[in-house]
Structure 1
Amino acid sequence: MRTAAGHGDRTAGPSAADRRRAKVISLAARLFDQHGYASVSMEQIASAADIAKPTLYHYFRGKDEILRGIHETFIDLLLDRQDERLRLGLSPADLLLGAMTDVFGLMETHRGHVRVFFEHHRELPPAVREEIRLKRDRYQEQIRAAITAGVEAGQFRDVDADAATLAVFGICNWAYQWWRPGSGADPALTAQKMWDLVIRGLASPESRSTAGRS
């Protein structure tokens, strides 16, 4: 996983320092979700991580570096998983299903990361914000390319790929507003339902046939 939590050799596995940074990032994401980014102090983060405040500053120079780690953790997870699906040569429909399943699954396992990613992008330092924007753009292009490939293969009807991409993100990106982690709902099943709406729409086959004759 490529995150600000560590910059060591990925093949060698995370170091103890990497694991400590990742733990702090995860705990901070939870605090930011519960109390808001602006309201949480470095002292509160240190307390949640059960470390001294000077030790926290050894790993992160400020709260903005932790914020960067949260953003990078989230977008890198999405990119890594989608890159793997592309490597495996999955169909356009399966690429979309996988992407949607990722987001709903992360709302269950990385709730704080999701909220921070969508609500606190502007608080990133300008140079970091640009780095994250480039990753966001790459991920968005992957989804757009899947839709375009589906249209070209005849798997999807001829739609505007940009509008369809925004529709997919509109379904997924704001779901954290109503998704309740630990509610017992199945993230994968919810993603499947949302994907089915994207792929098949609301119209019944009969109504689509009638509309085509009108």
Structure 2
Amino acid sequence: MYRTFKKLTVLDQIASSDKVRRQIVDTAANLYARKGFASTSIQEISEAAGVSLPVTYHYVKNKSEIMRLIMEDLLGAFRENLTRELEDIQDPEEKLAIALVIYHRILDREKEKVLLFYQKSASLDRASKTRIMQMEVDISRIFAGILEDGIEQGLFRKVDVDLMAYNIIIMAHMWVLKHWHFKNRLTLDQYIDNQVATVFHALESSH
């Protein structure tokens, strides 16, 4: 019945929509990680976030939509940080190195959220799966654009740009997926340094 609510409460209207959305998303991610996707209800998320149930349904209609919002937050954080850091940089090599570092650091900061996608993606509805896959493609295109610039300028050798972009994405995800192993011998900075060196070695131009 809560799906019929159209207006936010007065107090929630005072709060910024971004803040309310962030409360819902962060709370949901924590509960999913702690209790599991299937065992967590929208009502429980609402109560733990301190947001009324009608307001929660104003932002999301089901748990799949919350997973989509989590993915959107990750992509948004990557884009925002990348835009800020690359604002005055033209060199593709420097751009790629910075993009690699930023992406690794965001995934490390949001490890629990990233793991949720690998663990629960099969539970999402078709629309949410499609949207999340598109956002992953959007991230790959950011890397692909930098790679194409580097190839055009003769700084990188010619490679399958789409494949290399996805290699970079999976390389970063591996820090999260296999963190139980790598944390015993590598810090995040050491892992990033090694992977950046691997990428640049693969792209090294013969000219």
How far 1:143 moved relative to its partner? 1.0
- Paired residues for 1:28-47 under 5 Å: 28-47=28-47
Q: Structure 2 CA distance, aligned partners of 1:155 and 1:187?
A: 27
Q: Structure 1 CA distance, aligned partners of 2:132 and 2:139?
A: 11
User: Is the 1:100–1:195 Cα contact (8 Å) retained in structure 2?
Assistant: yes
- Report the TM-score, using the length of structure 2 for normalisation: 0.71
- Rate the CA distance shift 1:177–1:34 in 2: closer, same or farther, 3 A: farther
Q: Structure 2 counterpart of 1:199, which letter?
A: F
User: Is the 1:42–1:62 Cα contact (8 Å) retained in structure 2?
Assistant: yes
- Rate the CA distance shift 1:95–1:36 in 2: closer, same or farther, 3 A: farther
- Paired residues for 1:111-130 under 5 Å: 111-130=111-130
Which residue does the alignment assign to 2:3?
none
Q: Structure 2 counterpart of 1:192, which letter?
A: D
Q: What are the Cα deviations for residues 4-60 of structure 1, in whole angstroms up to 9, with x where unaligned?
A: xxxxxxxxxx94343122112112112223343223223442343245656644553
SS state of the match for residue 88, structure 1? coil
Which residue does the alignment assign to 2:147?
147
Q: Structure 1 counterpart of 2:67, which letter?
A: L
- Rate the CA distance shift 1:138–1:59 in 2: closer, same or farther, 3 A: closer
Structure 1 segments unaligned to the other structure (5+ residues) = 1-13, 202-214
Q: Structure 2 counterpart of 1:34, which letter?
A: R
Q: Structure 2 CA distance, aligned partners of 1:36 and 1:96?
A: 36
Q: Structure 1 CA distance, aligned partners of 2:119 and 2:90?
A: 31
Which residue does the alignment assign to 1:69?
69
SS state of the match for residue 165, structure 1? helix
Which residue does the alignment assign to 1:157?
157
Q: Structure 2 CA distance, aligned partners of 1:166 and 1:51?
A: 38
- Rate the CA distance shift 1:130–1:59 in 2: closer, same or farther, 3 A: closer
1:91 aligns with 2:82: no
How far 1:73 moved relative to its partner? 0.8
Which residue does the alignment assign to 2:79?
79
- Rate the CA distance shift 1:26–1:155 in 2: closer, same or farther, 3 A: same
How far 1:137 moved relative to its partner? 1.9
Q: Structure 2 CA distance, aligned partners of 1:188 and 1:175?
A: 11
1:199 aligns with 2:204: no
Q: Structure 2 CA distance, aligned partners of 1:90 and 1:115?
A: 34
Q: Structure 2 CA distance, aligned partners of 1:85 and 1:121?
A: 31
User: Is the 2:78–2:106 Cα contact (8 Å) retained in structure 1?
Assistant: no
Q: What are the Cα deviations for residues 58-105 of structure 1, in whole angstroms up to 9, with x where unaligned?
A: 553332232221111111222333344554344222222223222321
Q: Structure 1 CA distance, aligned partners of 2:103 and 2:61?
A: 30
SS state of the match for residue 179, structure 2? coil
Q: Structure 1 counterpart of 2:24, which letter?
A: V
Structure 2 segments unaligned to the other structure (5+ residues) = 1-13, 203-207
SS state of the match for residue 116, structure 2? helix
SS state of the match for residue 159, structure 1? coil
Moved more, 123-132 or 139-148: 123-132
Count of aligned positions: 187
